Amino acid sequence: MGLLAGITSPAELRRLTPQQLPELAAEIRDFLVHNVSRTGGHLGPNLGVVELTLAMHRVFESPKDTFVFDTGHQAYVHKLLTGRQDFSGLRKRGGLSGYPSRSESEHDVVENSHASTALSWADGIAKANMVRGLTDRHVVAVIGDGALTGGMAWEALNNIAESEDRRVVIVVNDNGRSYSPTIGGLAHHLDTLRTTRGYEQFLGWGKRTLYRTGAPGRFAFSALHGLKKGLKDVVAPQGMFEDLGIKYIGPVDGHDEAALERALLRAREFQAPVIVHAITEKGRGYTPAEQDVADRFHAVGKIHPETGLPVAPSRFGWTSVFADEIVKIGRRRSDVVAITAAMLHPVGLAPFAQEFPERTFDVGIAEQHAATSAAGMAFAGLHPVVAVYATFLNRAFDQVLMDVALHKAGVTFVLDRAGLTGDDGASHNGMWDMAMLRIVPGLRLAAPRDEVTLRAALRTAVDVDDAPTVIRYPKSALVESIPAVSELDGVDVVARHAARPGAAARRVLVVGVGSMAGCAVATGEALAAHGLEVTVASPTWVLPVPAALVKLAGAHDLVVTIEDGVVDGGVGSMLAQRSSEQGVTTPQVHLGIPLQFLDHASIDQVTEASRLTAADATRDVLAALALL
């Protein structure tokens, strides 16, 4: 059966002998490769934390001791060791989440997968333990080196260091490439820690030298003290952490389970905030991942486990179109610069970076800094294009509002994976952006429906130099172009259907926002089959609501909007508000994502569950017209 099959809780793990652990680690890596290759998921990060997770569960007692992962994509091994070994439905509806999930296990605490938050969670839990008098437990926060590039992590460190009796163990999982190669001053600092011999080794050399020369005791003590003081700043850059008031252990070989246990035992005995710095290798034990330089195995789709090659080619054509167009714009406009937050390859900026390295800035996992830095660049004469996942712009809303929009900065935000993303679950759905950004004064937002409108929207956006612009597009496959059959003051009409002869002339306007244009077209066809007169519109620029769209609404008997953002406060709500202000009383039906956190499932399943299909829209229209 193997050792892994016998591990249903950490208690069984702690009963294993040290000699059995290498065999268990090998079994876990084999399990991950063969199972994640079938479902897709975060493979590289989990292969790198096998020994680290084993050591954590042998030294600490979860759930009494609280484990917090930053981010949760490195928690697969933790799931296996806490009794969750059916990975057949990983990231599928009804199966295991790709992140920690409270509904799955008492061993899971933090469900959201946004980075740089774990230390704040750990600080809060440790404070609560202290207030409640629970002095027999620790909080263990595992944070990747990339997550330490986020400012919130340092806010937390500042607070954790405030108390000497707060039992927080911070495990820095340092692989030099949490997402892609980690950048910035912190990365250089960790590089130094990895490559510099500890000053304790130099101190040992000094002791041996003094003893061999027979130096008197008092002189020896003084010399050693001076040696320690003089060498520490040179060969012990861990002082940055210690100067905060947090004890430091490391660097430790993150694949030496025994060494990790010793380090974690020392950390546990401190009974005060302590950092354990573990050096790990992302993708450890899987040759394709170890040899990969582009970090393709951070998150994978279905792959052939023998080679690591994808079973099917990537479908993220939207990103490829953006990648191609931004390079073309860059060739034409020397003032256009690109910014991203540790997502250079996933958001499609790698080709721009290759051609214009001096005009590309990866700021690490620091979306707030990205937005405000972009405002500064705009002030100084550049036009920044900030490319992030839609869900991660949530973290920078204040900066978009108060640093970019208030100062009328010409900054373009490109939101990849907007709308429903499905299998990554609640924290990754890019469903909040339109409802959130609608209240930003002066901001213009485009939701292109195809390649042609995406390219055109991007060219238009970078020409705006006195306000923020936003372009959003989905994770789903790029659709066939949907050409306009006519245009009304910037609003594209993509289909018209005349009423059936002899039928009552009930006029319906169907508005498809962005990627929902195809659904709107199909809805229009279905309504036309019921004899209705139908106009299908797909405006590229949806915020602020175009005046022409309000005018179109007034020329129909019913309006239905379909959008892949939250329906409460979305584009449909804005259209209703603007229509009311203009005296347009046409009834409206709004379809969008319900205001709730959505469980992980495929995009199609979540779309269907959210009632964002042509069949749903058709039924709602017919019901509103009392035709059902």
The answer to whether residues 168 and 189 belong to one domain is yes
**pLDDT digits 0-9 by tens, 327-380:** 999 999 999 999 999 889 999 999 999 999 999 999 988 999 999 999 999 999
The backbone torsions φ and ψ at residue 516, rounded to the nearest 5 degrees and listed phi first, read: -85, 5
Q: Residues marked as binding for Mg(2+)? A: 145, 175
Instruction: Assess whether pLDDT exceeds 90 at residue 192.
Output: no
Q: Which residues of 305-331 are buried (b: 16+ CB within 10 A; e: fewer)?
A: beebeeeeeeebebbebbbebbbebbe
The answer to whether residues 261 and 332 belong to one domain is no
Could you say which of 441, 474, 507 is where a domain stops? Answer: 474
For residue 206, being part of any structural domain is answered with no
Average pLDDT of 118-122? 91
The answer to whether residues 338 and 417 belong to one domain is yes
Q: Which of the four pLDDT bands, split at 50, 70 and 90, describes residue 31?
A: very high
The answer to whether residues 131 and 277 belong to one domain is yes
The residue among 76, 167, 98, 97 whose CA lies nearest residue 126 is: 167
Q: What residue has token string 């605490």?
A: 109
Instruction: Assess whether pLDDT exceeds 90 at residue 575.
Output: yes
The residue among 394, 349, 346 whose CA lies nearest residue 367 is: 394
The answer to whether residues 249 and 277 belong to one domain is yes
Q: Residues marked as binding? A: 73, 113-115, 145-147, 175, 286, 367
The residue among 192, 162, 171 whose CA lies nearest residue 56 is: 171
Q: Report helix, strand or coil for 373.
A: helix
DSSP annotation of 402 reads I
Biggest distance spanned by C-alpha atoms of the chain: 114
pLDDT at 354: 96
What is the reported pTM?
0.84
By the 8 A CB rule, do 420 and 607 touch?
yes
For residue 49, being part of any structural domain is answered with yes
- Sorted by sequence, the CB contacts under 8 Å of residue 491 that are 6+ apart come out as 537, 539, 546, 548, 549, 552
**Looking at 293-302, 362-371, 491-500, which range is the least confident one?**
293-302
The β-bridge partners of 149 are none
Q: Which of the four pLDDT bands, split at 50, 70 and 90, describes residue 533?
A: very high
Could you say which of 256, 291, 326 is where a domain stops? Answer: 291
Average pLDDT of 596-612? 89
Q: Is the peptide bond before 587 cis (omega within 30 degrees of 0)?
A: no
Q: Residues marked as binding for thiamine diphosphate? A: 73, 113-115, 146-147, 175, 286, 367
For residue 479, being part of any structural domain is answered with no
The answer to whether residues 14 and 131 belong to one domain is yes
The answer to whether residues 549 and 608 belong to one domain is yes
Q: How far apart are CA 266 and CA 194, in angstroms?
A: 20
The answer to whether residues 345 and 285 belong to one domain is no
Count Cβ atoms within 10 A of the Cβ of residue 233 and give its class: 0-12 exposed, 13-18 middle, 19 or more buried: exposed
Average pLDDT of 6-31? 94
The answer to whether residues 68 and 190 belong to one domain is yes
For residue 58, being part of any structural domain is answered with yes
Q: Report helix, strand or coil for 246.
A: coil
For residue 216, being part of any structural domain is answered with no
Helices (H), 87-165: 118-131, 151-160
Q: Residue 439: give its domain's CATH number.
A: 3.40.50.970
For residue 426, being part of any structural domain is answered with yes
pLDDT at 10: 95
The tokens of 190 are what? 């960790």
Domain that holds residue 266: 4-196+237-291
Q: Which residues are catalytic?
A: 282, 367, 395
**pLDDT digits 0-9 by tens, 438-477:** 999 999 999 999 999 999 999 999 999 999 999 999 987 8
Q: How far apart are CA 464 and CA 171, in angstroms?
A: 45
Instruction: Report which residue type is found at 310.
Output: P
pLDDT at 301: 76
The answer to whether residues 86 and 128 belong to one domain is yes
**Looking at 210-214, 257-261, 436-440, 514-518, which range is the least confident one?**
210-214
The answer to whether residues 466 and 520 belong to one domain is no
Count Cβ atoms within 10 A of the Cβ of residue 481 and give its class: 0-12 exposed, 13-18 middle, 19 or more buried: exposed
Q: Residue 565: give its domain's CATH number.
A: 3.40.50.920
Could you say which of 429, 450, 474 is where a domain stops? Answer: 474
- Sorted by sequence, the CB contacts under 8 Å of residue 51 that are 6+ apart come out as 21, 25, 254, 255, 256, 257, 260
For residue 212, being part of any structural domain is answered with no
The answer to whether residues 326 and 440 belong to one domain is yes
**pLDDT digits 0-9 by tens, 501-510:** 866 679 999 9
For residue 207, being part of any structural domain is answered with no
Helix axes 151-160, 118-131, angle to 10 degrees: 20
Q: How far apart are CA 77 and CA 51, in angstroms?
A: 9
pLDDT at 391: 92
State the total domains in the chain. 3
Q: What residue has token string 């956190």?
A: 597
